[in-house]
Amino acid sequence: MELSRLLTNEFSEELQQTLKRCVDLMPQQLLNNPENLLLSGVSWQIDYATYQKLLEESEYAAWFYAFGFRANHFTVFINNLKKFSEVSQVNTFLGLTHQVVKSRAQRTNYLNNQVPCQV
């Protein structure tokens, strides 16, 4: 099953080489184990200037550079939820969850403020 794909060969040589260097820094056991790869994060130092350069070409490439291999969104079939009967209730719940996550991210100084991120 393929979750998503960044077609690096459709971008500049600089973008391709930057992402290749990142992947080359990952431990081989992660690359050989898809279950662990999904949550592995980054194995490289993150540089804001590099992030900005990647962002000029591809938001997806910049996101990968900042966060590595991890899910960037999920879909919820709210019709099957038992605790919520209205979309507005789900939105309220997610809004509260967003505030908790944002507060935790701010307390841990996520990415040392090097890369702007939304939580």
Token match 């991890």: residue?
Answer: 70
Handedness of CA 31, 46, 69, 113 (dihedral sign): positive
Residues 10 and 65 in one domain: yes
- Cα separation, 55 vs 10, in Å, equals 15
Residues 62 and 88 in one domain: no
Domain total for the chain? 2
Residues 52 and 81 in one domain: no
Query: DSSP H helical segments within 1-119, as ranges?
Result: 13-24, 28-31, 34-37, 48-57, 59-67, 87-107
Find all residues with CB under 8 Å of 21, minimum gap 6, and list them: 44
Residues 83 and 104 in one domain: yes
Residues 8 and 55 in one domain: yes
Residues 81 and 64 in one domain: no
Q: Is 90 exposed, middle or buried (0-12, 13-18, 19+ CB in 10 A)?
A: middle
Structural domain boundaries enclosing 25: 1-72
**Domain end residue (candidates: 72, 90, 108):** 72
pLDDT in tens, the chain (119 residues): 455 778 999 999 999 999 999 989 988 888 788 777 777 778 889 989 999 999 999 999 999 999 888 777 777 788 888 998 888 888 788 776 656 555 555 554 444 444 443 33
Residues 62 and 94 in one domain: no
Residues 40 and 11 in one domain: yes
Does the global pTM surpass 0.95?
Answer: no
What confidence score (pLDDT) does residue 89 get?
A: 84
